[in-house]
Each structure stands twice: as structure tokens, then as C-alpha cells.
């Protein structure tokens, strides 16, 4: 269970996240939606500790992760892998090395310096690439791949961390619909294995199609927390505002209007999570 308790984050006078409280059971797939500047990225970054909280705390399985330091903090950052809109790969490194970099945090620093990876690590990286259907790109420089392929490499790198949770910050915002769908399908499949996925999404349709729980943010606050069915037009208006609502829907009609390849969303309890495709 991830507990976010009365968390606030200020940047100077600006309150980016304002007294947010959420409890996210292990294995949930959660979409966070809201207008630009609503505080979605800051919330994810505080979970992973790329940003610290100003007030409140974040707890995972009883451990206050918002207060961790040193080795324990690095272990937590390994447990909650993060993927970004811009993929954040090393462009002039081959794909398989990029994936193996996911294992760096927690390895012998000397091995890191020499960039030596064990046979087991190489095998695991290849398996992760195979799983994302891009093993054939293993020896290419990352920068030669399409955006969709690069995001899949980033997901493979995240899997190398053997995470308990994947935090995805607008993972499909730079992708065409086909690649966006492949990436969202991959996240959904990973989630079906019991890994919590929390993803920021710009558009309603994608959140509705893939997430069993949707959290709506506006001006740093959680203004909605419910199922796709509960996300009515009135609620969407509260999240996006009247102007933003139009934008949210029109965007959904263009770049990221998606439907999952396999039947939409399956409500996940610990039991059916294991049965999900």
C-alpha cells in the first residue's frame, strides 16, 4: 500500500501540490489527469523522491519513504521506477546497455565505472526487450529508434530495476496513436503482474480505457478520485474547467485516442489481477 498523507509541495510562493491524500493498494493501475500545471508531475516526482515534500508524508508498506536517506533512499528509487515523456535514454549507447543501466543503482560502483554487466544481467535485459517486442534493436544506438521504440526501451530499463511500482510521467504525450497504444498496452500488461502503475495522462479517453482508478487534479488538489464510470462530463468539467474540457476531448480525438488491443479495463482485485491478460 502506498499512502500519500496530506502532502503539499511549494516552490517559493507557488503551491504545486496542495494537501493531497491518497491510498493506493499494491497492483492498482491509476491514471492521474488534469490540466497543465495541475501538479501531476510534482506528485509523481515526490513519490520517487526526485522532489521532496514540503509538508505531509509518503509511506510505502509502513516505511516513510519521504524521509529516507542514503542507501535506503536508493533502494526505494529502485522499487519505484520512473519513465518520462522524453524517454531519457543515453542516445549514443546501444539499446541493451541502456536497459542494463536500470540495474546500476544497487551494483558495485567499480563495475559501474567499468560498465561491466554480468551474463545474467545481459540475459535479463534481453528478456525485457523481448517482452516489449524490440529485442531486434538490442545492438542499435538508442537514438536511431522511433519514439515509440525508445519508450519501450525505457520501460524495459524500468523492468530491470525489478520495481514494485512504475511511475509514468506523460509516457505517451510524444507518441503517435499506434505507438501510444503499444506503450499503454505494455504498461497494462506489466500492471497485470501485480506491479502498481501510476501514470500521468493528458487525455480522458486514455485514462478511461486503461486505468481502473482515475485521480483528477486541479490547482494542486485532488478534485476527483474514482472509477472511469464515475468520471462524468460534470466531473471532467471540474477537473479541466469549461475551456480545458474542450481541449481534453479534442486532444483525445487526435493524438492519443486509444482503445486497448485486449478488452478494455478489468477491475483488479488481488485475485483477478493474476488472471488478467
Ligand X SMILES: Nc1ncnc2c1ncn2[C@@H]1O[C@H](COP(=O)(O)OP(=O)(O)OP(=O)(O)O)[C@@H](O)[C@H]1O
Q: Among the candidate windows 8-16, 106-114, 207-215, 252-260, which touches ligand X by CB under 6 A?
A: 8-16
Among 13, 36, 69, 243, binds ligand X (CB under 6 A): 36
Rounded to the nearest whole angstrom, what is the least distance from the CB of residue 44 to ligand X in the complex? Answer: 8
Rounded to the nearest whole angstrom, what is the least distance from the CB of residue 239 to ligand X in the complex? Answer: 11
Main-chain phi, psi angles of 89, to 5 degrees = -90, 165
Q: Note whether 216 binds ligand X by CB under 6 A.
A: no
Q: What is the dihedral of CA 250, 252, 254, 258, to 10 degrees?
A: -160
Name every residue whose Cβ is closer than 8 Å to that of residue 28 and which is 6 or more positions away in sequence: 191, 196, 197, 212, 213, 268
Q: Closer to ligand X at the Cβ: 16 or 211? A: 16
Q: Closer to ligand X at the Cβ: 14 or 237? A: 14
The count of residues interacting with ligand X (CB under 6 A) is 11
Three cell numbers written together for 121: 544481467
Rounded to the nearest whole angstrom, what is the least distance from the CB of residue 46 to ligand X in the complex? Answer: 9
Q: Closer to ligand X at the Cβ: 26 or 54? A: 54
Unique residue bearing C-alpha cell 489527469: 33
Name every residue whose Cβ is closer than 8 Å to that of residue 172 and which is 6 or more positions away in sequence: 151, 179, 180, 183, 184, 201, 206, 256
Q: Note whether 16 binds ligand X by CB under 6 A.
A: yes
Rounded to the nearest whole angstrom, what is the least distance from the CB of residue 39 to ligand X in the complex? Answer: 5
Q: Note whether 194 binds ligand X by CB under 6 A.
A: no
Among 1, 11, 55, 178, binds ligand X (CB under 6 A): 11
Burial 68-95 (b: 16+ CB within 10 A, else e): beeeeeeebbbbbbbbbbebebeeebbb
Q: Closer to ligand X at the Cβ: 159 or 214? A: 214
Rounded to the nearest whole angstrom, what is the least distance from the CB of residue 191 to ligand X in the complex? Answer: 21
* Helix, strand, coil shares, percent, the chain, to 5: 45, 25, 30
Q: What is the dihedral of CA 204, 207, 209, 210, to 10 degrees?
A: 170
Q: What is the spatial distance between Cα 141 and Cα 153, in angstroms, rounded to a whole number?
A: 11
Rounded to the nearest whole angstrom, what is the least distance from the CB of residue 166 to ligand X in the complex? Answer: 17
Per-position x/- string for 39-78, each x denoting binding to ligand X as judged by CB under 6 A, each - no binding: xxxx------------------------------------
Q: Note whether 38 binds ligand X by CB under 6 A.
A: yes
Q: Closer to ligand X at the Cβ: 44 or 138? A: 44
Rounded to the nearest whole angstrom, what is the least distance from the CB of residue 147 to ligand X in the complex? Answer: 18
Q: Are the CB atoms for 145 and 95 separated by under 8 Å? A: yes
How many Cβ atoms from other residues are within 10 Å of residue 230's Cβ?
Answer: 11
Q: Closer to ligand X at the Cβ: 80 or 100? A: 80
- The torsion region of residue 87 among left (phi > 0), alpha (psi -120 to 50) and beta comes to left
Interface contacts to ligand X, rule CB under 6 A = 11, 14, 16, 34, 36-42
Amino acid at each position: 500500500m502506498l499512502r500519500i498523507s496530506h502532502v503539499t509541495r511549494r516552490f517559493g510562493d507557488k503551491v504545486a501540490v496542495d494537501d493531497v491524500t491518497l491510498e493506493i493498494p499494491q497492483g492498482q493501475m491509476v491514471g492521474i489527469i488534469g490540466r497543465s500545471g495541475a501538479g501531476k508531475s510534482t506528485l509523481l516526482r515526490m513519490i520517487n523522491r526526485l522532489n521532496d515534500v514540503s509538508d505531509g508524508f509518503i509511506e510505502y508498506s509502513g516505511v516513510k519513504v519521504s524521509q529516507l536517506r542514503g542507501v535506503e533512499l536508493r533502494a526505494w528509487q529502485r522499487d519505484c521506477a520512473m519513465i518520462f515523456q522524453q524517454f531519457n535514454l543515453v542516445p549514443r549507447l546501444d539499446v541493451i546497455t541502456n536497459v542494463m543501466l536500470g540495474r546500476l543503482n544497487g551494483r558495485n560502483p567499480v563495475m559501474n565505472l567499468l560498465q561491466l554487466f554480468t551474463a545474467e544481467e545481459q540475459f535479463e535485459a534481453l528478456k525485457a526487450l523481448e517482452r516489449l517486442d524490440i529485442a531486434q534493436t538490442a545492438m542499435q544506438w538508442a537514438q536511431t529508434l522511433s519514439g515509440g521504440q525508445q519508450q519501450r526501451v525505457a520501460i524495459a530499463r524500468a523492468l530491470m530495476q525489478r520495481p514494485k511500482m512504475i511511475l509514468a510521467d506523460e509516457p505517451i504525450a510524444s507518441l503517435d496513436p499506434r505507438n501510444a497504444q503499444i506503450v499503454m498496452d505494455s504498461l497494462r500488461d506489466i500492471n497485470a503482474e501485480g506491479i502498481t502503475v501510476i501514470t500521468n495522462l493528458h487525455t480522458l479517453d486514455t485514462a478511461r480505457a486503461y486505468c481502473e482508478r482515475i485521480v483528477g487534479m486541479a490547482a494542486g488538489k485532488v478534485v476527483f478520485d474514482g472509477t472511469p464510470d464515475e468520471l462524468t462530463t460534470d466531473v471532467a468539467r471540474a477537473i479541466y474547467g469549461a475551456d480545458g474540457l474542450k481541449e481534453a476531448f479534442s486532444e483525445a480525438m487526435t493524438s492519443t485516442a486509444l482503445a486497448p488491443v485486449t478488452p478494455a479495463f478489468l477491475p483488479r482485485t488481488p485475485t483477478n489481477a493474476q488472471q488478467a491478460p
